[in-house]
Amino acid sequence: MDTIVTPRHVGILTSGGDCPGLNAAIRGIVRAGHAMGIRFTGFRDGFRGLVHDRTMELDDAILSGILTNGGTILGTSRDKPHRMMIGGKMQDMTGAIVDTYRRHHLDALVCLGGGGTQKNALHLKQAGLNILTLPKTIDNDVALTDITFGFDTALGIATEAIDRLHSTATSHRRIIVVEIMGHRAGWLALGAGIAGGADVILIPEIPYDIDKVTASIRARTLAGKRFSIVAVAEGAMSLEEAAKTEALVRKLDNATSKAEKKKAADKLTALQEAHVEHTVRLTRRLEEMVGQEARLTILGHLQRGGTPSAGDRVLATQLGTRCAELLRDGVSGVMVAARNGGAEPVPLEEVAGQKKLVPRDHPWVTAARLVGASFGD
Ligand code: F6P
């Protein structure tokens, strides 16, 4: 954690995938910050906005009505400062970003983002900028924060989808597989699976055995149930896929040449990103192995769009206003984390590169098992 003099001019950007609550957080930072005498300039489209100097003055008028809006008024992108496609070439734009920061006489920069953004923020801190971050993502996988904003809204959307799938599943005596976002973490599928009463919940942290999944569906049929709902996290893996992934990670760690490293990394990315193919294959196998008609629903970006839930508005406002207080107190080099009902600064060095996955013995996993959900393990 670093201490600087109270900043007078602060930049704000949103980076990574958008999520509900970003505008509420921007409003929280700026409203509270204005009252403390801080001026804010927004940079559009993530870190790219700092490279191309795309700005938006964040005055009081612009904040009107944004609390309830999804997305981000600043726009976002997945660009990284040190690896950005410019003119068809991948370039390190750290120097250009530092120049823009200095040219605008910024005293600090607030980056609202997920796991990738925490790493990029640390990189810019190491380049000499005063940086604070806020943890946002529907995946809830940012380390050292109890929760991220965006998660609660997505949880509500995915739960409603499972609720709706029940009536059509039972009418047709079908298995319905529903793919839920979450990147490599199972928080969203697990939460929605519990809240929606899914019969099978498959998450990346608990690789599944297809025979055990089919056995649990057959047991339901024998018990007279007409349907089964299978909630699958986009990062879910069978035991075989998990073994393949582990072998590739080992190869990557032990690679001695650049070419070898690239080959293993490309294979790993291809395997991890083939989630739609995986879920389609899983649905077909369940249909064949159980002998019951199956259908697949992929919720996709619906889970990230639209109005933030009340919970996300409260959380984003709490983290945003705490961020303003930390700015006022001259604190930088931290993520403003949700901890024990409050908001606390956590050093970027401790957050960057970490991921919060679902522990196999998490109380949510236990609760799901106790109400009869199968994890296929
Ligand atoms: O990180 C949020 C998230 O929605 C993940 O759940 C998902 O894997 C990813 O973003 C999708 O990214 P994109 O919007 O770039 O397709």
**Is residue 196 classed as helix, strand or coil in its secondary structure?**
helix
Asked, for residue 124, whether it belongs to a domain, the answer is yes
What is the pLDDT at residue 106? 97
pLDDT, average across residues 1-30: 92
Tokens 């236990």 correspond to: 366
Asked, for residue 361, whether it belongs to a domain, the answer is no
282 and 191 fall within a common domain: yes
| pLDDT value at 221 more than 80 | yes
Å from CA of 17 to ligand 1 middle? 6
Buried b (16+ CB within 10 A) or exposed e, 224-248: eeebbbbbbbbbbbbeebbeebeeb
Q: Is the CB–ligand 1 distance for residue 233 below 6 Å?
A: no
pLDDT in tens, 279-336: 999 999 999 999 999 999 999 999 999 999 999 999 999 999 999 999 999 999 999 9
Asked, for residue 364, whether it belongs to a domain, the answer is no
What band does 7 get if pLDDT is binned at 50, 70 and 90? confident
Domain count, the chain: 2
**Is residue 119 classed as helix, strand or coil in its secondary structure?**
helix
What is the pLDDT at residue 3? 72
Q: How far is CA 15 from CA 100, 118, 159, 359, in A?
A: 17, 10, 26, 27
pLDDT in tens, 24-69: 999 999 999 999 999 999 999 999 999 999 999 999 999 999 999 9
- List phi, psi (to 5°) of 59: -95, 180
| pLDDT value at 1 more than 80 | no
What is the pLDDT at residue 5? 73
Q: Is the CB–ligand 1 distance for residue 138 below 6 Å?
A: yes
273 and 318 fall within a common domain: no
45 and 123 fall within a common domain: yes
29 and 129 fall within a common domain: yes
| Mean pLDDT, the chain, integer | 96
- Give the domain range for residue 291: 154-304
Q: Is the CB–ligand 1 distance for residue 120 below 6 Å?
A: no
Q: Which atom of ligand 1 is nearest to the CA of 235?
A: 8
What is the pLDDT at residue 214? 98
64 and 167 fall within a common domain: no
90 and 35 fall within a common domain: yes
Percent of the chain with pLDDT over 90: 92
Q: In the structure encoding, which two tokens stand for residue 297, read together?
A: 């629903």
297 and 316 fall within a common domain: no
pLDDT, average across residues 189-196: 98
Å from CA of 197 to ligand 1 middle? 24
222 and 103 fall within a common domain: no
| pLDDT value at 2 more than 80 | no
Asked, for residue 178, whether it belongs to a domain, the answer is yes
pLDDT in tens, 87-133: 999 999 999 999 999 999 999 999 999 999 999 999 999 999 999 99
Q: Which atom of ligand 1 is nearest to the CA of 16?
A: 1
Candidate of 77, 181, 273 to mutate for ligand 1, largest count of ligand atoms within 8 Å of Cβ: 181
pTM tops 0.85, yes or no: yes
Å from CA of 315 to ligand 1 middle? 21
Query: 342: burial class by Cβ within 10 Å (0-12, 13-18, 19+)?
Result: exposed
